[in-house]
A and B are shown apart, each in its own frame.
Chain A
Amino acid sequence: MIRRNWSANEADEWTKEDWIAIILSPACYVLVTLGAALSILLQVSGYIMLAIGIVLTILVHLVIDPKLKAISNEYETKQQTYLQELEAKVRWETTKKNTS
């Protein structure tokens, strides 16, 4: 159901794992926030919301973490090149290179 192993380049694509995280993540925020407040007020609904919120939080991270690791590993290999380009851009050097 949920993919745990990613090659670096495959992880760059937007897949169902991303959409699971995108959809569940706001639910985590709402359930944990309301659940915590209502739990302090000893409301049963608060305990239920907080428990579901924590379970969803764990689920989101289980789903997305392998993918984020793969993306990070892959991107770090290219980062230095992109940083050099950015520095050239802020120093207006791209134009000079192109025109020279």
Chain B
Amino acid sequence: MAVFTFLDWFWVGLFLLLMLGSGILFYRLGKRSESDFFLAGRGLPWWLPASSVYATHTATDTPMWITGVIYKNGMAGIWYTFFCGWAAISAFVSTRIFRRSLAYTQAEWNVVRFTGLGSELLRGWMAGWQFFMNMFVLGWVGIAMGRVCEYLFAWPTWIGLVVFSLLCAIYVLAAGYWGVVMADFQQGVIAFLVIIIVSVWGIHIAGGPTGILDKLAVLGELDRINPFAFTGWWSGDFPIAWFITMMMIAFLGGFGMGTTIDWYVEAQRIQSAKTVRDASYSIWWGTIIGLVRNSVWAVAILAFFVLFPAITDQSEYEMGWFRLGFDYLPAGMLGFFFAAILAIHLSTISSHLNLGALYATRDLYQHYVNPKASEKRLVQVGRISTGILLLGSFFYGLIMEDITSWLIFALWIMAAGIWLPNILQVVWWRFNAWGYLSSWIANLGFSWLVVWILPELNLIPHLLDYQQFWILMILGAMVYFPVTLLTKSEPMDHLVHYYVMSRPIGWWGPVRREAERRGLIMSNGEAMPGADQASRPSDTYPKAP
């Protein structure tokens, strides 16, 4: 249990004042309109959403997870942190295309790219799924904070979960995305500084870089600094086959939208950037700052490993980076460290509160319940949705241990069977709403079979992660390719309009030729004057409910 001095509590109090100040300062901006409450009026320079990308993806459980993979695999474990590598390509491909669509959410993008009943089913499904997922992430991250407080102050777990999420909700309810992004900037700076300070301190305690290397040599573990120390081609904890699969999923996923769960958060940051260029740089730089942070963390975890090399209990060694801070920082710095953990925590909570509320307000309430709602009403609904998410997250957080394995399964099915469809929807003109919808449904069924049911019945062996991925991808393709080709393509009017607006990459030949034939794009790619007006769809949208 940690003992805080006055100086420690001073740091914590000062930080909380700064965060709540964001809510008060930006209250007037946040309440102006739906666009302000959820996208900061689409006017942010690249470095603000970039800091939000970084801050949001530095959650309370992130150091635990990274500590786990580095402690177990050595520097080779750093490859696991490249799940965010999709941003490398996305920044110059799908980010650019998505920003041009102007869709508030990925759910809304479905009705920009597709049309008719299929697109509405996709929008409704994705909005509901994302509302639920944000509530789940809030519970997941909240309970991680509860455990940190339990470790530090011996508080019951629910206190850490409830108290800090409630404080965060004050500025999210007041200022919406304006409050989120401004607080994220402060939180990102504080968190990055403290991560560096604590990690460097931990490295120093372990004897500095040379001390770490010497101790690894004594332990016979020098291979731990080799990022390419895999366990063979096909088997072991970390085979090359898994490495290749992971890199393919991560980097090539950047051609698509939604290939990782993080996309849905970044989509909001992309649309809040003031131009296409700002959107691209926000994603690129926000992600690489996170990767550099992972590098520093990785060395600090090696330092922890040489200090405590024999821990076998995963839940114990996952707390390694926190222990470097709480066990070794000098007096007066403990509160600063805790304030940084709060920064890490609040940035994630605030983003998911606002994002979940965006799906509920824009895609469910406004589109399906009250299409004529005023801007004032939409902001009100945004605030009510934020409150519902907050309460739901407490519920999920408190039952988290019972449902974690099920929800990890749910996340996994999002990654495997629909990875390729998420790319196809961007790069292939012929892929239609029914093909995409069928890929979600097929993936749900196949995942249960391949991951749980068939192995339990001993009909197939328990498969490694990369084996599951490839099998799910192939099985899914056997459904969505026939469905796509056996159903009609999206109407050409709609596709031409989408093409002229978004200029997607990939196989769009027939649509492009049609756009040229109609005089909307010249053959050298130049758009004709007034092309945006002329390409509007005429009769392709479904009737109002």
**A residues adjacent to B (C-beta < 8 A):** 7, 9-10, 12-14, 18, 21-22, 25-26, 28-30, 32-34, 36-38, 40-43, 57, 64-65, 68-69, 71-72, 75-76, 78-79, 81-83, 85-86, 89-96, 98
CA distance A68 to B85 in the complex (A): 21
The answer to whether A95 touches B291, judged by C-beta atoms less than 8 angstroms apart, is no
B541 touches A95 (CB 8 A): yes
User: Residue of A at shortest CB range from B504?
Assistant: A14
Q: Is the CB of A40 within 8 A of B296?
A: yes
Residues in B neighbouring A91, C-beta threshold 8 A: 366, 371-372
Is B148 part of the binding interface, using a Cβ–Cβ cutoff of 8 Å? Answer: no
- Are the CB atoms of B541 and A94 closer together than 8 Å? yes
Which listed residue (B108, B225, B544) contacts A38, Cβ 8 A? B225
A-chain residues with CB within 8 Å of residue B352 when the two chains form the complex: none
Q: Known: A25-B89, A37-B75, A38-B225. Is A68-B280 also a contact (CB below 8 A)? A: yes
Q: Are A96 and B78 in contact (CB under 8 A)?
A: no
Whether A12 touches B544, Cβ cut-off 8 Å, given contacts A33-B291, A68-B276, A71-B96, is no
A75 touches B275 (CB 8 A): yes
Residue of A nearest to B111 (CB): A89
Q: A26-B85, A41-B209, A90-B362 are in contact. Are A82 and B102 (CB under 8 A)?
A: yes
Query: Is B487 an interface residue when CB atoms closer than 8 A count as contact?
Result: no
- Tell me the smallest distance from the CB of B226 to a CB of chain A, in Å: 10
CB-CB under 8 A from B337, the residues of chain A are none
B292 within 8 A of A: yes
Q: Nearest chain B CB to A75's CB is how many angstroms away?
A: 6
**Contact assessment for A26 and B75 in the assembled complex, using a CB-CB cutoff below 8 Å:** no
Besides the known contacts A22-B92, A29-B291, 10 further A-B residue pairs in the complex with CB atoms under 8 A apart: A12-B525, A26-B251, A29-B88, A72-B278, A78-B501, A81-B533, A83-B102, A86-B103, A89-B111, A92-B545
State the CA gap A76–B203 with chains docked (Å). Answer: 48
B505's partner among A14, A57, A96 (CB-CB below 8 A) is: A14
Which B residues are in CB contact (< 8 Å) with A28? 88, 288
Smallest beta-carbon distance A16→chain B, Å: 13
The answer to whether A98 and B288 touch across the interface, beta carbons within 8 angstroms, is no
Please measure, in the bound complex, the distance between the C-alpha atom of A66 and the C-alpha atom of B17, giving whole angstroms. 42
**Of the residues B213, B275, B295, B536, contact of A37 by C-beta under 8 Å:** B295
B511 to chain A: closest CB distance in Å?
14
Residue contact B542 to A95, C-beta cutoff 8 Å? yes
In the complex the two chains form, what is the Cα distance from A95 to B536 in whole Å? 12
| B323 interface hit (Cβ, 8 Å) | no
| A28 nearest CB across to chain B (Å) | 7
Closest 10 CB pairs of A and B: A92-B544, A72-B275, A36-B295, A37-B295, A68-B277, A9-B526, A13-B525, A25-B88, A26-B88, A91-B371
Are B541 and A72 in contact (CB-based, < 8 A)? no
14 A-B contacts, Cβ less than 8 Å apart?
A: A12-B525, A13-B503, A29-B287, A33-B81, A33-B291, A37-B295, A37-B296, A38-B227, A68-B277, A78-B532, A90-B108, A95-B541, A95-B544, A96-B544
Residue ID in chain A nearest B539 by CB atoms? A98
Residues of chain B at the chain A interface (Cβ within 8 Å): 75, 78, 81-82, 85, 87-89, 91-93, 96, 100, 102-103, 108, 111-112, 203, 209-210, 212-213, 225, 227, 251, 275-278, 280, 284, 287-288, 291-292, 294-296, 298-299, 302, 362, 366-367, 371-372, 501, 503, 505, 524-527, 532-533, 536-539, 541-545
Chain B residues, Cβ within 8 Å of A93: 371
Bound Cα distance from A82 to B251, whole angstroms: 30
Contact A21–B92 (Cβ < 8 Å) = yes
Which chain A residues lie closer than 8 Å to B296 at the CB level? 36-37, 40
Check if A86 sits within 8 Å of B541, measured CB to CB.
no
Question: Is B276 within 8 A of A90, CB to CB?
Answer: no
Write out the residue numbers on chain B whose beta carbons fall within 8 Å of the beta carbon of A81.
532-533
Shortest CB-to-CB span from A51 to chain B, Å, is 15
The complex places the Cα of A96 from the Cα of B544 at a distance, in Å, of: 8
Contact between B291 and A40, CB atoms less than 8 A apart:
no
Closest Cβ of chain A to B504, distance in Å, is: 9
Which residues from B are CB-within-8-Å of A33? 78, 81-82, 291-292, 294-295
- A contact residues around B544 at 8 Å (CB): 92, 95-96
Docked Cα-Cα span, A21 to B545, in Å, equals 45
What's the least CB distance linking A11 to chain B, in Å? 9
Q: Cα distance A85–B536 when bound, in Å?
A: 9
**Could you tell me the distance in whole angstroms from the C-beta of B293 to the nearest C-beta in chain A?**
9
The answer to whether B102 touches A86 (Cβ under 8 A) is yes
Contact B299 A41 (CB under 8 A): yes
**Most chain B Cβ neighbours within 10 Å, of A36, A57, A81:** A36
Q: How close is A96's CB to chain B, nearest CB, in angstroms?
A: 7
| A26 surroundings in chain B (CB, below 8 A) | 85, 88-89, 251
Structural contact, A12 and B108, CB atoms closer than 8 A: no
Write out the residue numbers on chain B whose beta carbons fall within 8 Å of the beta carbon of A30: 82, 85
- Whole-angstrom distance between the alpha carbons of A59 and B299 in the complex? 28
Q: Which residue of B lies closest to A99 (CB)?
A: B543
> Are the CB atoms of A95 and B102 closer together than 8 Å?
no
Closest B residue, CB atoms, query A20: B92
Please give, as numbers and ranges, the residues of chain A lying within 8 Å of B292 by CB-CB distance: 32-33, 36
Complex formed: what's the CA distance from A43 to B367 in Å? 56
Closest residue of chain A to B81 (Cβ to Cβ) is A33
Q: Which residues of A contact B527 (CB under 8 A)?
A: 9, 12
CA distance A18 to B95 in the complex (A): 13
